[in-house]
Chain A
Amino acid sequence: MKPENKDQIYQQFEAIRRQAEERRDAARRDPSPTILIGTATCGIASGALDTKLAFEQAILEQGLDARVRTVGCIGHCYAEPVVIIDYPQSGFPPIFYHEVTAGKARMLVKHFLEGGDPLFEHVYGAMVENDMIPSVMEFSRFNQEKRVVMEKCGHIDPEDIYDYIAHGGYAALAKALTLDPETIIDEIKTCGLRGRGGAGFPTGRKWELAADSPEGDKIIVCNADEGDPGAYMDRTILESNPHQVLEGMAICALAVGAHKAIVYVRSEYPLAVKIVSGAIAQAKTLGLLGSGILNSAFNLEIEVFQGSGAFVCGEETGLIQSIEGFRGMPRSRPPYPAQEGLYGQPTVINNVKTLASVPPIIANGAAWYRTIGTENSPGTAVFSVVGDVVHAGLVEIPMGVTLRTLIFDICGGIANQKKFKAVQIGGPSGGCLPETFLDTPIDFDSLTTAGAMMGSGGMVVMDEDSCMVDVARYFLDFTQKESCGKCTFCRIGTRHLLDILQRITTGEGRTGDLEQLEQLSEDIKDGSLCGLGKTAPNPVLTSLKYFRDEYEAHINEKRCPGMMCRPLMTYYIDLDKCARGCDACVGCCPTEAVFTTSTRKKGIDQDLCVKCGECMVACPPQYDAVRKVSPPGLAPVIERPVKNPDASKKASDNS
């Protein structure tokens, strides 16, 4: 590349950056308080829009001068709706508030913005070190994370490109434009970045494969078809910082020589679709996408394609079929998409997190990236840790951190003083690991050795009350429904697996079932065409390996140790504990199965009971009279009084 062109690129970018910084500085000079509200999907689901409205109304009513800004998700979903108030004049640092309901919002406006009292009892922590309020960095949920992909999530306004640029955004693209494509690919290869979509294929190799393919209309696809039920990292990243992904795509396109790119987002994520589309338009206006990017000769058009809801389209070849307008049925590889993909052109398909890792790598260099994580899995991993943990949400950790640290230190351990039982990693393709594996470091190879899989990053933590057979059945039910139906092993094999698991969880398991499960699983693993089928038996195989006793209890004793399988358990009321005259459980029963015994205590009509467990929740803790047992035969029989109490009462009244 000619040096004068290099200068032009830098000049052009500097101009944009100066603009962005001026806007930021102008905002900083403004002494009025700023209120940042996290309004990604999960925030909205927790009522963030009501919170926002309450702030705006209260500010208006009090006649204050304050700005309410929306940002993406900071990842602390347990604390939603999350609000950060930056009020320099108050003398306090920016403060992080959690679970800010509309009422709390009004209180904050009144006391903090008007009165200068930050309401210490509601403060979660300060965003920076100071000597007044403990900083959030003192919490392990914050300080043990290492944010590369999600660094800016929750701090910038996803709908304002200048905010991203003022935080250092698009500098990596400007730098990349002055480099040779080979240098970029070398950098990605040396940094050791591996695909974050699940399989962990070296990203640099994939790019090189596409770059080496003969000329053609090469295409970059950002795979945001996040189908794993229980994972939402990709959505959050797109909703909170779309530009980092777009920047990564542009760098990738530059490296492999593509001029067209597609963001493949599930249509179930309407907010992500809207934000990404807006981000593309903004980047085009500033000349960061489109033709002649930053005065260079590089052109790139990015489009958004909405996936229509088929898990199998997360598979590269299935995804290609669906963009082309066909049924998303995978085909056999090779040829790999990087050689022959969309419309027969070399196509690089990378996950959202992979692409979002690219700008920091280009900006800071491969050596810096290698300082994070492990030798074979450099960098960070983003997990959505959900289930029975205290601090559920998105966590970005350096690779190599153990499961124990992640679950017990960072995420606060198991909720409700229960015991840890298992952690499911990798969704329908992954597996359940028991307590003995808690010291496994989180990286591609260790997890695969343990029998789980990195997958896309869904992690569901389960306490002692969960049933591993039921979890395996759940995942098989999912893969069976999501199988495309093309190949014999996946289409029919998963159906047989599911059938057996269904029998076991309803108490109709037979001897020999476990051996058959293993046999079928091995066949499906070896015989299936695509990754979906090949990994579909993993939940069964790992749970059989680590929780075989639970399967045996289901089959031999018709007992569900986790008391989750409803045909194998029942609720009853302990008459010694039940309080006379208390009606708490009666009102909540959806089927009127709770009746009053002759001693004015309560019993459950097993014929009517649907085992929803509401009575157990409703029973006041001081009585704690509702019990679960498995197998159902262990429950004492409490007969419903034959006489209709109303009728007898009437009769006595009459006499």
Chain B
Amino acid sequence: MSKNKHVLFGLYDDDEILLDAVKEARNQKLDIMDVFTPFPVHGLDPALGLSESRLHISGFVFGLLGALTAFGFMTWIMVVDWPIIYGGKPYWAVPSFIPITFELTVLFSAVGMVIVFYTICGLGPGVNSVILDPRITDDKFCIAFDVTNVDESEQSELKKFFEQSGASEINNKTI
């Protein structure tokens, strides 16, 4: 930990109150650090102005890689490296290669995408994230502001925002 972050966060009791609060914060041009919820709240991404995830692109790229790997490898083995005639079929028996090509497309795509997912989210076995409040994975909805370089008066304004938008608790934590 090179630098400690001071986080001011409010906890909300309901996803609908949270959504309104997020919209209000965006209206007031408040710089939200992150929002934490116990389940995916629909409508939160546009409210936060998050761009659509591009994760599926990696799925396509890995899938393509899988298809080419499978088909290329089988072609090389069956035609170049050790050609054998099986059941009177040609060496390059394309229909026979389809099932494995399909399976490896799916395999590469799924495995690749999962690896990309955990990498870009910074998640993985042994990762110890700082949990602002243990109830966030239960029934609390949290909006967090980074207040490391924010002076007192602005902080009290943020607190006022929490109070007005219906937060049930306001806390701060150094992470």
Q: A and B bound?
A: no
Footprint of B on A, CB under 8 Å?
Answer: none
Footprint of A on B, CB under 8 Å?
Answer: none
